[in-house]
Amino acid sequence: MDELSARRLRNVVPVLVEQRNILVAGGVSFAGHLLDLAIMQLRLTLNEISDDELSEFSNALSVGVSSESTD
């Protein structure tokens, strides 16, 4: 991704966060959740995090959480 595209996407994130907050405050939590997913996907793209890396990270967190609950 070129720098101009990345900058444009970075500028979209705060707008989406603001819109998400408006939706949630208005009681439209499902639409807010959908925007959360879009924001997360943009951040993953901007930081060049692959689906596999996210999956591995999620698995590592799950292992950490399950081991803490058995302590």
Question: What is the SS3 assignment for the chain?
Answer: CCHHHHHHHHHHHHHHHHHHHHHHHCCCHHHHHHHHHHHHHHHHHHCCCCHHHHHHHHHHHHHHHHHHHCC
Region 46-67 average pLDDT = 88
Mean residue pLDDT across the chain: 91
Q: What's the structural domain count of the chain?
A: 1
**Which domain, by its residues, includes 29?**
3-69
Average pLDDT over residues 35-40: 96
Whole-angstrom distance, CA of residue 23 vs CA of residue 29 = 7
| 2 phi, psi to nearest 5 deg | -80, 165
CA distance 48 to 64: 24
- The reported pTM is 0.76
pLDDT score of 69 more than 90? no
pLDDT given for residue 3 in this prediction: 92
Of the pLDDT bands very low, low, confident and very high (cuts 50, 70, 90), residue 70 is low
